[in-house]
Every structure is written in structure tokens, then in C-alpha cells.
Structure 1
Amino acid sequence: MILYPAIDLKDGQCVRLLRGEMAAATVFGDDPAAQALKFQQAGCAWLHLVDLNGAFAGAPVNAAAVEAILKAIKVPAQLGGGIRDMATIEMWLSKGLARVILGTVAVENPDLVRQAARAFPGQVAVGIDARKGLVATKGWATETTVQATDLARSFEDAGVAALIYTDIDRDGAMGGPNIAATEALARAVSIPVIASGGVSSMADLIALRDTGIIAGAISGRALYDGTIDLATALKTLNP
């Protein structure tokens, strides 16, 4: 199972939100590229980046910080937040991003996801962010009546590289991930599923790995707080 250290960007800084609330942001650093290098030096195989301002604005806002990260690191990175048209997808991939994450448009314009996945095989993931099983969009500010599992199944034949499933109520709360819901989603589709939201201990990571079906896990706050030591976690997950 791949562990993805998360760098969430707000106003050019590394932050973590509590349950997606922009007003509940904790700043962990003002040099995202330096943070990315620390994660790379600890041995991570991937990085997970989020343009939080972009998720609300519907267009890239923290582009300078993302570009600085991409210039600094050698490991692949995936990015979500504000990527809602083909021009933005092409722009990011041309700048060296390994994978774009499409969230809001996966609900509002699923044909774009299909078109992008065909145009850029292996480089398009779908972000499914849910509260109590129902998908939320636009930086989690807009509730929908779409079931997470139904959305995931709708992309079964689209050729997307991965699904990133976030339980919003768990995100940043350090209360553990929703393992049951994530495992159920992973078993409902053939697309690799990456768990996000609430991953706060080695026990969480081991429990996700031991499902035998979840392909990856994203962790942010726990790495910054030191409740998960990245180098130790990587050795444990991939002995």
C-alpha cells in the first residue's frame, strides 16, 4: 500500500483544515517546496497536493507553490483542487505533475473525466469526497444527493488511474479513517482506491493495508504532528 504524504496549500502555505473548514486552518509551514523535500528525503514514493483555495475558486490559485514543489522533487505528485477543464489538466501535466485529481467535475461534467482519462492514460484520478456516503463538491461546500459508490461505479469503464475517497467528517480530525466505508467502496469497483481523511496512527495505516484491497492512504496532520513517523511508516508498510 502506498502512503501519500499530503501538502494542503492555502495562501501559499502548508496547512491542514478540520473537516474541510477554511476558517479552521492550522499552518504548518510557509515553504511548501522545503516540506515536499523533507517527505522525499524520508523515502516517500508519491506526494499528494491540494490547492485548497483553488477548490473554492474553481481555478488554480496556489500555482506558484505547486510549481516550486514540482521543481524541487523527483518523486511523482498528484494534485487536486480547482482543476475543472481540459486546459487546466493539460497545463498541470505539462509542468511535470504525474496525476491530476478531478473532484467537482466528476459530478458536474463526467464526460470531461472520460475525455481526460482517454487523452492522458494513467494520469487522471477521481476524487470522491463524501459526508455520510453522499458526495460533496466545490471544496466540500456543496452537498449533493449522489451516492459515493454510484459515482465510483460510473467511472468503472473510463480508464481512471485511481479513486481518492475522503470521508469529510474524519478529515483533519485525527479520529481514524472510515475503514469500513473505504473498504466497501474498494470492493465495489475494480479501480484502485486511495483512502483519505482521519489517518492518524500506524494502527490506522496497518488496518487499511490489512484489508488487502485498499491501494493507498493519504496522511497530512499526523505527519506534521509527529504521531506518524513517515520513515517508520514506509518501512512498516513496504518491508
Structure 2
Amino acid sequence: MMICNRKEVTKVDTMNEHLVTYFVLMTLVIIKPIKKRLKSLLRKIMNVIPAIDLLEGRCVRLYQGDYARSQTFNENPVEVARQWVDEGATLLHLVDLDGAKVGHAVNQKAIEAIVKAVDVPCQVGGGLRDRASVSTLINLGVKRAILGTVAVEKPQLVAELCGEFPGQILVGIDARNGKVATRGWLETSEVLATDLAHQMAQLGAAEIIYTDIQRDGTLSGPNLEALRELANAVAIPVIASGGVSSIADLLSLLALEPLGVTGAIVGRAIYTGDISLKEAIRAVGQGRWQDVPPDLGSSSFA
């Protein structure tokens, strides 16, 4: 009959516990990122999302977030929304610039008119800083609400809204030199974009929209390194915004899709004609592997 020393049994049990803990941690570290990458690869599309920025009811574009350097492209945002849907958009990105500046909805009538006029979902941001404003938009038919300033100032509110409206709360992270800007880009905090993204993902945000303010409206190309760093910090989808100027820029984002960058918001380039929305969708949308031309720098297809 074999008699085991009590200390030896305790030692073996402790070692087994450590091994179990080790394998659990390794599963979280290895399997979760792999699952994320496989899911992204299986999507087979990157969503191209046209932006409609609203200022005093007009469709405008800002330059690097500067309200004093706005350019009006159309007095009728509903007309613009219909145009983008006709060209193949499956989602519209609406921003209440006045609302972002003052902290409450200003262009609600224009937003409601757009939602009623198109048969594709709309996501809306700008000035959403309490439950009532988010609830009002959802009740109007807005599919997804984008929170910005409150993510920094009231993270608990973000958690509550994510619980109340699962899958419908996105967090917009707008950054200058890696630090989060708030209140319509008028203030810059000391919070790092990657840290905020990680926190918001843990609180239940469905997606992160990352905007590099210094690229926004400049047609200078997306900040790929910042996007890569942020996508690596979270296990939820990331939408790129700011600087997209060509089909080549959109194609460059495909390298980040396995990391979770699943969409790109396009603004000034589709208003100036630098990008055809139809061609953009064809380049990185459904069936893109067959459609990407040999010359990746080309902005048109034969």
C-alpha cells in the first residue's frame, strides 16, 4: 500500500491549480485574437460608409475639425442621403456638428428627415450626452447612436446605455496626436485613444469609430499606424475615419481588416469627386477579391 506524504499531495494540487490557470490564460491570450481575425477574414467585405455632416441644417465638411473652415456641399442633406444610397451605400454616418459643439441635439429635424427618406440604417453622433438624447434618436428610427464626449466624462453612462440598447451603442474616439478630443473637437484631454478604446470595449460598446482629427477633411490618407495600434487594443470592430482620399487609401485599409478594422467612413473625397462611392464599394466591398484591379493605385476601373 502506497502512503503519500500530505505535503506532497498539497504540492501536487497547487501545481495542478497553477497549470489550469496557465492554460486558461493562454486560451484567452491566444484563442480570442485568432477568433477575432478569423471572423474578420470570413466577412469578405469592408463597409464603405458615406458621412453626412450637418451644420445649421446644411451638408458640410470641416477641415481638421475647424468650424471656421467649413465648406457647404449641399443645402439639402436628404438629397445627399438619397444620392449615396442610390450609389450603393448600405449605412449612412450622420454627425450633428452643432450638437457636438453645444452638447445637445440641434439638427434633429434633418436627421429625422434623412432616416425617413432612405431604406438603409443610419448611425448618428454629435451632442449625445444623456440617456434622453440617445433614446430619442433610437425612437426616431436611428439604428446606432455614437457616443463621444461622455465616453471620457461619464463612462458609467456608456455602460448603462450599452446594457439598455445592446448592439446599438458605438463610441467615437477622435484623437489629436493619440490623445482624445472632446466637445466637438474643441478640447483635448490627456486620455490616450487606445486606453479609452479598451475601456469602452469592456463596457459593452458594439464598435469603435476612430477619427484622426489632423487627417480629417485633408485628403491626406488614413493614419494606418494609429489604426493598427487601436485595433490591437480591442476585440470589437473598428471603423476608420479621417483622411481617406482615394481608392488606394481604402485598399491600404484591407491590410488592417484581419485586426478588426471592418469599415471606413468617407467624407470630403466623395463630395469633391476624388472618389466615386460606387467604385469604392466595388474595390473593398462584396466580391472585392475579384474586383481589385492589378494597379492598386488606380482610382477607376475599366
TM range (shorter): over 0.9
Partner Cα separation in structure 1 for residue 146 and residue 249 of structure 2: 24
Secondary structure at the residue paired with 2:80? helix
- The one-letter amino acid paired with 2:250 is L
Does residue 239 of structure 2 align to residue 194 of structure 1? yes
Please name the residue that 2:54 is paired with. Answer: 9
Please name the residue that 1:218 is paired with. Answer: 265
Does residue 195 of structure 2 align to residue 185 of structure 1? no
Q: 2:88 aligns with which of 40, 43, 46?
A: 43
Does residue 231 of structure 2 align to residue 170 of structure 1? no
Q: By how many angstroms is 1:157 displaced?
A: 2.1
- The one-letter amino acid paired with 2:242 is G
Q: 1:34 aligns with which of 76, 79, 101?
A: 79
Partner Cα separation in structure 2 for residue 155 and residue 164 of structure 1: 11
- What is the aligned length? 239
TM-score normalized with structure 2 length: 0.78
Secondary structure at the residue paired with 1:5? strand
Please name the residue that 2:13 is paired with. Answer: none
Q: Counterparts in 2 of 1:81-230, with a 5 A limit?
A: 81-212=126-257, 213=259, 214-230=261-277
RMSD: 0.7
Deviation per CA, 1:57-108, whole angstroms, max 9, x where unpaired? Answer: 1000111111110010110110110000000110000000000000000000
Partner Cα separation in structure 2 for residue 192 and residue 156 of structure 1: 10
Partner Cα separation in structure 1 for residue 82 and residue 155 of structure 2: 34
Deviation per CA, 1:196-221, whole angstroms, max 9, x where unpaired? Answer: 11111101111112222311110110
Please name the residue that 2:36 is paired with. Answer: none
- The one-letter amino acid paired with 2:282 is K
Structure 2: gaps of 5 or more residues: 1-45, 288-302
Question: Which deviates further from its counterpart, 90-99 or 202-211?
Answer: 202-211
Does residue 102 of structure 2 align to residue 57 of structure 1? yes
Partner Cα separation in structure 1 for residue 69 and residue 172 of structure 2: 22
Deviation per CA, 1:112-149, whole angstroms, max 9, x where unpaired? Answer: 11100110011000010000000010001111000000
TM-score normalized with structure 1 length: 0.98
Partner Cα separation in structure 1 for residue 160 and residue 207 of structure 2: 15
